Amino acid sequence: MAILQLALKSLWNRRFTAGLTLLSITLSVALLLGVERLRNESRSSFANTISGTDLIVGARSGSIQLLLYSVFRIGNPTNNIDWQSYQAIIKHPNVKWSIPITLGDSHHGFRVMGTTPDYFKYYRYSRKRPLQFQNGKPFTDVYDAVLGAEVAEQLGYQLDQKIVIAHGAGKVSLIKHDNKPFTVVGILNKTGTPVDRAVHVDLRGIEAIHIDWQGGSPTPGMRITADKAKQLDLNPKTITAAMLGLSSRISTFKVRHYINNYREEPLQAILPGVALQELWDMMAVAEKALLAISLFVVLVGLTGMVTAILTSLNERRREMAILRSVGARPAHILLLISGEAIGLCLLGILLGIGLLYSLLFIGQPLIESHYGLFINIDWPSTYEFGLLGILLLASLLVSLIPGIRAYRYSLADGMTIRL
Amino acid sequence: MFGNKLSSLSIITASLILLYSPFTHAGKTQHRQHGSHEHGSAQLNIAIEGQRLYLELSSPAANIVGFEHKPHNDKQRQTLKKAIKILNQTSLLFTPSASAQCKSNKIEVDVDTLQDEHDKKDSHHHHSGHADFSAHYVFVCQKPSKLTTLQLLLFKPFPGIEKLQVQLLTETGQSAITATAQKATIKLK
C-alpha cells in the first residue's frame, strides 16, 4: 500500500508531463473509437440511403449502375422504360406500391426528378423513416415542385417561389423551360441522402414542359402555353426507373424473376440492399485506410507515453536510489515504472471513452440536423472492447521498455548514483 | 450498267440472308435470352417473413450431377435419381437454428431440362447446351424470433458446388453473402 502511495505522490510531482501523456492517450483512444464508430455509422447510413423498397426496376444494365442513377442520381441510364411495360409490371399481383421516376432535367445543377405523390407516401430511408415536410405539402398540380432540404438552403428558396427548370442535367444549360415555371409547394426535411439534392415535380409536369418540343429543342413557332398543356394528355411515354414495394417479402424473388424475364422489353429488377452492399464493398479500401490511420494514431500515443516516461527516468534516478535505500528491490522498481505506464494507459482509455461519449451526446443532434446522419449511441461493441484490450496489451509491452531500463539502472546504481 | 449489276447482286445477298435468318424459319420473332450460368457456383435465395423461412436453390446441373444433358446410360440415370432424392431431403441440405423449431413444409424440385422425354411434362424449354437445377423449400418455424442462423449442409452431398451466392431478405433488410464449405453458416439476424 505504501508503495502505491509513493508512486501516486511521485506521479503528482510530475503532474504536468504525466497529464500531457494522459491527454495524448485519451485523445488517441477517442480518435480510434470515433473513427471506428464513424466507419460503422457511415456504412449503415449508406446502407440506409434507401429502405423499405423491395425492388428497383430499370433498363437492363448492371445492378450498381441502376442503383447509382436511380437512387444516387450519378451517371446515366442506358435506356428508359416504356410506360406500358411499367403499367404491366405494377399490375403483377404481388406489387403493393410503385414509385415511377424520371430524370433528365435540372435546376441550377440540382437534378429534377419527375415522380408521383406516392413518392412522399412510400419512399423510406434510414431504417424505414418516411420523408417529412419542413414546410408545405406534396405536389398536386402539374406545375408544383417539392424541394430537397439542401436545394432550398443553398438557393435560399421559400414556399410559393417560382422556379424555371433547365433542359438537360448540366450545371450550365442554355435551354430553359421558361414558359412553364414551377411553384414551390413543399420543402422536405434533411435526410442525409440524395433526396436532399433533388427537385421533385409531378411526372405530368415533366411531360408538360416537353410537350411542344421536338428532337430535343423547342419547335419553332409552336409554343403551347402552360395552361393549354394541362388540357392535353400528359401521361408520360417513358420513365427512367421505378421503385417497387411488394405485398410479401417472399414474393420478391418471384417478381424479380418475372421482371428479368419480361418478354416485351429487356428490363432488370435489382435488390437495392444487395446492390448497396456491392457498392460499399467496392469502397472497402477507403474504409480499411481509415482504420489504419486510427491505429497509427494510437501507436503515436503509446510512443509519446514511452518517451515521456523514458525522459523522466534520468530525473528519477535519485528517487529510485532512495527507494532502494529503504529496501525496495529492483523488481519493485520495474513494477513501479511499468505499473505507472499501464495505469496511465488504463486511465487514458477510460477518459477516452468518456470523451467520445460526451462528444457523441453533444454532437448527435447537431450532426443529425446538419448532415442528416443519425449516429446511434450504443455501448461499445465487442470488437471495440477487443481493440481496447489490444491497446492495453500493447501498453503493457511498451511499458517494459522503461521498466527494464529502470531495473537495470537501479541494479547498476544501487544506492548511489554514478553519473 | 455497272450500278445495275451491283444492285441485283445486293438483292441476291439480301434474300440469302433472309433465307438463313431465324425469322423466316419461325415466321415470327423469337425471344432470345439466357440467364448466366457458371459452373462451380450456385445461388441460394433466402427470405424470412413471419413464421416462414423460404429457400430457393438454383445451380447448374454440372455441380449437382456432373453432366448437363439427358442421362445417356443407367449410371447417369442413377446419379440423377439420387440427386433428386437428396434435393427432396431438407435434413441433408439445411439446418435452421434448432431453437426456432422449424419444420420443412413444402419442397419443389425442378430438373425439367434433364428428365427423359417421356417423363417430361412440358417441352417449352429450349436446350441451350446448359441445364439448371432449381429447388424451392418452405420451412415453418414455431419460434421465428429464435431463428438466427442457417447451416448449409449441401456442400457435402454436392461437392460440385464450390461457391454459393446467397441473397438474404429479412425484416432488417437485404444482404448478400458468399458461402463455401468452410463458411457454411449464414447469420440470419
Which one of A249, A273, A278 has the shortest CB-CB distance to B49? Answer: A249
What pLDDT band is residue B44 in, cutting at 50, 70 and 90?
very high
Residue A275 domain-assigned (yes or no)? no
Q: Specify the 3-state DSSP secondary structure of A49.
A: coil
pLDDT digits (tens, 9 = 90+) for A218-245: 666 666 777 777 777 778 889 999 999 9
Does residue A418 lie within any of the structural domains?
no
Same-domain pairing of A290 and A238: no
Considering the domain architecture, whether residues A248 and A385 belong to the same structural domain is answered as: no
Mean pLDDT value of segment A175-184? 83
CA nearest to A267 within chain B = B33
Looking at the structure, tell me whether residues A353 and A244 fall in a common domain. Answer: no
The tens digit of pLDDT for each residue in A2-21 reads 777 878 888 888 888 888 88
Confidence of residue A113 (pLDDT cuts 50, 70, 90): very high
Residue B103 φ/ψ, nearest 5 degrees = -120, 135
d(CA B24, CA B31): 14
Q: Please report which confidence band the pLDDT of residue A417 belongs to, taking 50, 70 and 90 as the band edges.
A: low
pLDDT(B118) > 50: no
pLDDT band at B97 (very low <50, low <70, confident <90, very high): very high
Please, what's the largest Cα pairwise distance for chain B? 89
Question: Between chains, do B45 and A253 touch, taking CB under 8 Å as contact?
Answer: yes
Residue of B nearest to A54 (CA): B174
More confident residue, A320 or A27: A27
Q: Closest Cα of chain A to B57: distance in Å?
A: 11
Same domain, B59 and B2: no
Q: Which residue has the cell 481509415?
A: A290
Strands (E) across A174-233 are located at: 182-188, 198-202, 213-214, 217-218
Q: How far is B9 from chain A (nearest CA, A)?
A: 36
Half-sphere exposure of A396 toward its Cβ, with a 13 Å CA cutoff? 6
Q: Categorize the per-residue pLDDT at A215 as very low, low, confident or very high, splitting at 50, 70 and 90.
A: low
Cα dist. A272→A90, A126, A198, B58 in Å?
18, 13, 19, 21
pLDDT at B1 over 60: no
Per-residue pLDDT of A304-358, as tens digits, reads 878 887 887 777 878 888 888 888 788 888 888 888 888 888 999 999 999 999 9
> Does one domain contain both B28 and B38?
no
Beta strands in A6-130 (DSSP E): 55-59, 81-82, 95-107, 110-115, 124-125, 129-130
Helix (H/G/I), strand (E/B), else coil: B168: strand
Give me the mean pLDDT over the A275-290 stretch.
85
How large is the ipTM? 0.75
Residue A177 or B81, more confident: B81
Which residues from A are below 8 Å from B49, CB to CB? Answer: 248-250
Using the predicted structure, report yes or no on whether residue A101 has a pLDDT greater than 90: yes
On whether both B27 and B40 belong to a single domain, the answer is: no
B169/A249 Cβ within 8 A: yes
Q: Give the pLDDT of residue A1.
A: 60
Per the prediction, chain B carries an average pLDDT of 78
Q: Are B174 and A272 an interchain contact pair (Cβ–Cβ within 8 Å)?
A: yes
B178 and B165 Cβ atoms separated by less than 8 Å: yes
Measure in Å the smallest separation between the Cα of A395 and chain B Cα atoms.
35
Domain range for A298 is 2-46+284-413
Number of domains in chain A: 2
Judgement on whether residues B50 and B119 belong to the same structural domain of the protein: yes
Q: Which chain A residues are within 8 Å of B169, Cβ to Cβ?
A: 54, 249, 252, 271, 273
User: What is the tally of structural domains in chain B?
Assistant: 2
pLDDT of residue B26: 42
B24 lies in the same domain as B48: no
The residue-averaged pLDDT of B15-41 equals 57
Nearest C-alpha of chain B: how many angstroms from A41?
Answer: 16
Classify residue A310: in a domain, yes or no: yes
Domain shared by A59 and A38, yes or no: no
| Per-residue pLDDT band at A77 (split at 50, 70, 90) | confident
Q: Check whether residue A61 and residue A204 sit in a common domain.
A: yes
Query: Which of A130-134, A332-336, B151-155 has the lowest average pLDDT?
Result: A332-336
3-state SS of A379-391?
CCCHHHHHHHHHH
Q: Are residues A230 and A212 in the same domain?
A: yes
- Inform me whether the pLDDT recorded for B28 exceeds 70: no
Out of B54, B56, B175, the one facing A274 most closely (by C-beta) is B175
Which of B54, B167, B175 is opposite residue A250, by nearest beta carbon?
B54
Mean pLDDT, to the nearest integer, of A135-160? 91
pLDDT of residue B21: 40
Are B70 and B12 contained in the same domain?
A: no
Residue A181 lies in a domain: yes
**Which one of A214, A235, A270 terminates a domain?**
A270
Could you say which of B47, B175, B176 has the minimum Cβ distance to residue A249?
B47
Confidence (pLDDT) at B139: 94
**What percent of chain A shows pLDDT beyond 70?**
93
pLDDT at B22: 42
User: Can you give the pLDDT at residue B123?
Assistant: 43
Flag whether pLDDT at A369 surpasses 60: yes
Shared-domain flag, residues B94 and B171: yes
According to the model, what pLDDT value does residue A208 have?
Answer: 86
Note whether A128 and A52 are within 8 A (CB): yes
Chain B contacts of A51, Cβ < 8 Å?
173
Instruction: Judge if A241 and A184 occupy the same domain.
Output: yes
Residues in chain A within 8 Å Cβ distance of B47? 249-250, 252-253
Inspect the interface and report whether the beta carbons of A271 and B169 lie closer than 8 Å. Answer: yes
Query: What's the whole-number average pLDDT of chain A?
Result: 85
Chain A residues within 8 A of B56 when measuring between CB atoms = 253
Q: Tell me which of A214, A236, A270 is where a domain ends.
A: A270
Which of A159-163, A282-286, B19-23, B144-148 is predicted with the least confidence, judged by mean pLDDT? B19-23
Which of B31, B47, B175 has the CB atom closest to A252's CB atom?
Answer: B47
Structural domain that includes position B8: 1-32
Q: Identify the domain boundary among A270, A303, A335.
A: A270
Q: Are residues B54 and B136 in the same domain?
A: yes
Alpha helices, DSSP H, located in A48-79: 63-67
How near does any CA of chain A get to the CA of B148, in Å? 18
Beta-carbon contacts of residue A137 (< 8 Å; ≥ 6 apart): A185, A186
pLDDT band, residue A297 (cuts 50/70/90): confident
A257 and A291 belong to one structural domain: no
Of the candidates A249, A253, A277, the beta carbon closest to that of B175 is on A277
| Mean pLDDT, rounded, for A289-300 | 83
What is the pLDDT, as a whole number, of residue B120?
Answer: 44
